[in-house]
Amino acid sequence: MKIQFFAGALLCCIFASCLVGCSNNDDSIVIAPEADASQFVVLTDVVPDVILEIRYYSTYNFIGRRIPGYDEPIAMLTRQAADSLKKVSDDLIKQGYRLKIFDGYRPQKAVDYFMQWAVDANDTLMKQYFYPELDKAVLVPQEYIAEKSGHTRGSTIDLTLFDMATEKEVDMGCTYDYFGVASHPDVQPGQTIGAYKPITQEHYDNRMILQKAMMDHGFKPYDCEWWHFTLDNEPFPNTYFTFPLTRKSLEAQAGYSSSKF
């Protein structure tokens, strides 16, 4: 009887130790820094007033196809960038505008795809719309496309203004993602800018309204693209994230819920 008791007790101890071991193994799973989405949010959970036109989820972009890594037509940012953009949005709504978002966090997979596309000289489907002035071969040397993007660090946003009175996107003088001088935010009214007509004073003023609102709330502009801004004190200046653009990436991290916002 005692032997049976001790044998049973021993089996219970072994079983319990296995459970503890399994639990410890689960707890010790380490997520690579670039795959960790725990500090990101879906932008519309924080800034519900924005309008989304996620170009890389559609075919209307400089490649002409949906871009790998864009699994849903949403925008994601680091929590810090989203909180700052909420202040921008609140500021601009008082002026009669809303923010229209083209791109936010961009998975490294998408950037890699851009680089693959750039070396295919025959794939020029959207050239007439986005880079009519340039030979495709110069896009990488002139850094229109690069192996690393600030978007992949999670605190860079591409956006424009939407006029609530006219119910139209504000005219900035050239289209989003245009590769050329016309996209430079500091282009002056009347200045020769290649294939595009010179921008007007109104175009310039519109660019400055957007730039001022972004800079007032901690974003810095990019000198080659009027639509591109990065949080000045971005939380991950050296991390290029890899998780796909989908809510599932966030829900996989314990504790994320849109109801928190």
The per-residue pLDDT for 30 is: 80
The C-alpha atoms of residue 108 and residue 59 are separated, in whole angstroms, by 19
pLDDT tens for the chain, 261 residues long, are 444 444 444 444 444 444 334 334 445 568 899 999 999 999 999 999 999 999 999 999 999 999 999 999 999 999 999 999 999 999 999 999 999 999 999 999 999 999 999 999 999 999 999 999 999 999 999 999 999 999 999 999 999 999 999 999 999 999 999 999 999 999 999 999 988 899 999 999 999 999 999 999 999 999 999 999 999 999 999 999 999 999 999 998 767 887 778
Domain positions in the chain: 1-30, 37-260
**Which H or E element spans position 219?**
strand 219-222
Sign of the C-alpha dihedral, residues 176, 178, 179, 181? negative
CB atoms under 10 Å from CB of 52, counted, come to 15
DSSP string, 112-159: HHHHHHHT-TT--TTHHHH-TTS-GGGTTTTTSS-SS-GGGGT-EEEE
CA distance 163 to 158: 17
Which residue out of 147, 167, 225, 234 is catalytically annotated? Answer: 225
pLDDT of res. 261: 82
- Residue 88 in tokens: 């921008």
How far is Cα 78 from Cα 153, in angstroms, rounded to an integer?
Answer: 9
Res 29: pLDDT = 65
Query: In this predicted structure, what is the pLDDT of residue 196?
Result: 85
Burial of 54 (0-12, 13-18, 19+ CB in 10 A): buried
225 labelled catalytic: yes
Helices (H) and strands (E) in the chain, counts: 7, 8
DSSP state letter for 66: P
Q: Is 244 in contact with 108 (CB distance < 8 Å)?
A: no
Domain 37-260, CATH number (from 3.20.20.140, 3.40.50.800, 3.30.1380.10, 3.40.50.150): 3.30.1380.10
How many angstroms separate the CA atoms of 90 and 80, rounded?
16
What is the structure's pLDDT at 253?
A: 78
pLDDT at position 213 is 98
